[in-house]
Structure 1
Amino acid sequence: MPRKIAILATDKAIVGGIITLIETFDYCNMYWKTIKPESNELLFECSIVSPLGNPISNSAGVQLATKSLEQSNYLLDMDAVIVASTVISDQQSFNEYLLSFAPISQAIIEFKKLDRPISGYCSGVLVLAATGLLDHHKATCAWWLSSMFTQLYPQVHLSMDKIVIKDNGIFTAGAASANLSLALVLVRELANEKLASKISKLLLIDPNRSSQMPFIDRRLVPEHQDELIYKVQQWMQKDIQDNSSIEELSNRFAVSERTLIRRFKKATGETPAAYRQRLRVEEAKMLIESSNLSIEKISNSVGYEDISAFRKSFSRHTSLSPNAYRNRFKTEPLN
């Protein structure tokens, strides 16, 4: 009997991510047929499930046929479920997606009682968190949604150091392309390690891509609405070599040290000192990716006098050494 996988989605889901999942499992079926030509059964059978079974479409109008919850026997005949993602720009857009998922949420909770794999990736993890199934368990999501996630679901132990996390039988994965890593993990879970290894080679999926940390760039995402802290951040970004103390910063922006630290941490989740270190690492990452400067020169240019301290800070923020980061992300021209 094939392993049945339901991909849960509604309108505005990222269609490309859904198709990628389906085709990854289809590749498993094709590979299985090449090594077991006598077999008449598929390994995996995927279906897209929506609340009413209506076709779903993305913002570009691309449509996918779906089955309704009733057609899928409220998921109870499935071997695994995956919550698809959507593009989320703010809490309102997430609330709209979550509302469209309301009819499915209870079905996910019921499915958990069967002790079968439940998974989500990118913004789909926030939908899972809304069911309460992730409470007091470890999970990950798209790194650029982490601030919203922790505000909405502080009871979930959110971690950004892994691309896929398994806890309590639930698999969570990072941003959109992490669904490939999630698919590999599910192939391993529902079939075996050998098949997952073969498929990773066929599809050029790096099975050792385990951390999101090298990809995180907080400058890409606005983090808060505190105008004072935004001005402080802008000041710090103008000169990352500046070593102004908390006292000097508070005097410059006419606020007490205690208030500055409190508001800064509330807005960004970190202290001004920690934020300065992260700014320097982000600048160093850009220089490592785009230039041939030595690591020592880059260290000096972003405000570090001690190369050892720079290497430690860089590794703490990216999980890679500066040289390893260069080997992985340095942009090379195509010949």
Structure 2
Amino acid sequence: MRKVTVGILVFEGCQESGLTAPLDVFRIVEALSTAGSASEPVALEARFVSIGGGMRRTAGDLRVETVPAESATLDAVIVPGVHHRDVADLLRALTPLDAEAAWLAKVASSGAPVLASCSGVFMLGAAGVLDGRRATTSWWLGPALHDRFPNVRLEADGRIVADGVCVSAAGVTSYHDLALWLVQRFAGEDLRRACAKFLLLDLDRQTQTPFVIEQLMEAPREDLIARARDWLNARLTQTVRIEDLARHCGVSQRTLLRRFRDTADRTPARYLQTLRLARAKALLEDTALPAAEVAVQCGYADVATFRKTFKLRVRLTPYQYRERFRRRLPDETVVGAAAS
């Protein structure tokens, strides 16, 4: 049986899911592999490593015995998430992890894949291995990753993005996606698909866009953007002129456009569309209004434009979004929705 050794980097305050979720996948892989789902039996063995080795405590005070990362021979490394309360807390938590970041840089330079999801992607950013590469993270952390590591080519809607030896994934539950990526890399696509079916994981989900809650996105650290947001939210059904928005914010149109580009990474028109789609999502989740009425209440001139824009930005039709996310009573039978 061919053995692949995957290091799982353990550090003080890391999230437990990044340590344990891959283990479940690896055990299933070995069972399926020996049962004939792979042309060659393969075992993915996890090894907990840390800088210097020894005991480490996770965010939930789980004590994990590790071996020294510096002397371990590894085929790949998974980086767990960094526990944090908000973005500022996350950035502060990176400061004591310089040694871990330096080690990750060495691993990547050796050609071994380094994988992380959600807040763990910031560790790869701190290691410098994402500079010039494509990467993703959880949708609400995207703006912060772009701000902290501007040389990263952020694919904000990506569920899992591989660029060279660097593999990044979206939310904290994406450790299964990372583990399955390793299965494909070292054991082939057939075993990856068999394992995904066994775990009831959908391999066709390529985007995290439908899950975005715009109201929970990390707000731009800019008073002007906050003033513009409040003014625009009160006028979603109206025709908005850039000169009126600039006048409300007390700046010239040129300054307004520059501040939006530098801080919100989009134009005011694009920002307005984001706010309108956020209201559309809320109406689709909480009401039975038909798509035409949702379009009107969100400021779209006609339902065809609304459907086209919604599908382009959310990657689902209004009908599909309502079917997936609308609120239901615990005993309610799933039935067709009004929007289409």
TM-score normalised to structure 2 length: 0.88
The match for 2:337 is none
Alignment RMSD: 2.2
Identity of aligned residues (%): 29
Report the alpha carbon displacement of residue 233 of structure 1 after superposing the two structures with TM: 0.8
Q: How does 1:120-159 map to 2 (within 5 A)?
A: 120-159=116-155
The match for 1:61 is 61
Partner of residue 276 from structure 1, selected from 264, 272, 277 = 272
Report the alpha carbon displacement of residue 86 of structure 1 after superposing the two structures with TM: 1.5
The match for 1:20 is 21
Report the alpha carbon displacement of residue 94 of structure 1 after superposing the two structures with TM: 3.0
- The answer on 1:198 being equivalent to 2:194 is yes
Contact 1:314 1:320 in 2 (8 A): yes
Letter in 1 for 2:23: I
Report the alpha carbon displacement of residue 90 of structure 1 after superposing the two structures with TM: 4.7
Distance across 2 between alignment mates of 1:45 and 1:59: 24
Q: Which runs of 5+ in 2 are unaligned?
A: 332-340
Report the alpha carbon displacement of residue 81 of structure 1 after superposing the two structures with TM: 0.7
Letter in 2 for 1:108: L
* Alpha-carbon distance change, 107 to 306 in structure 1, aligned in 2, over 3 angstroms: same
The match for 1:50 is 50
Contact 1:51 1:68 in 2 (8 A): yes
Q: Which runs of 5+ in 1 are unaligned?
A: none
Q: How does 1:210-289 map to 2 (within 5 A)?
A: 210-289=206-285
Matched residue of 1:65: which SS?
Answer: strand
Distance across 2 between alignment mates of 1:94 and 1:20: 22
- The answer on 1:323 being equivalent to 2:327 is no
Matched residue of 1:87: which SS?
Answer: coil
Contact 1:236 1:242 in 2 (8 A): no
* Alpha-carbon distance change, 247 to 166 in structure 1, aligned in 2, over 3 angstroms: same
Matched residue of 1:287: which SS?
Answer: helix
* Alpha-carbon distance change, 64 to 239 in structure 1, aligned in 2, over 3 angstroms: farther
Report how many aligned residue pairs link the two structures.
328
Contact 2:144 2:218 in 1 (8 A): no
Distance across 1 between alignment mates of 2:179 and 2:290: 38
Letter in 2 for 1:265: R
Contact 1:15 1:57 in 2 (8 A): no
Distance across 2 between alignment mates of 1:235 and 1:14: 39
Distance across 2 between alignment mates of 1:91 and 1:12: 15
Contact 2:6 2:76 in 1 (8 A): yes
Report the alpha carbon displacement of residue 83 of structure 1 after superposing the two structures with TM: 1.3
Q: Deviations over 1:208-257 (max 9, x none)?
A: 11101111223103422322321221222234213231111222333322
Report the alpha carbon displacement of residue 33 of structure 1 after superposing the two structures with TM: 4.5
Report the alpha carbon displacement of residue 261 of structure 1 after superposing the two structures with TM: 2.4
Contact 2:30 2:42 in 1 (8 A): yes
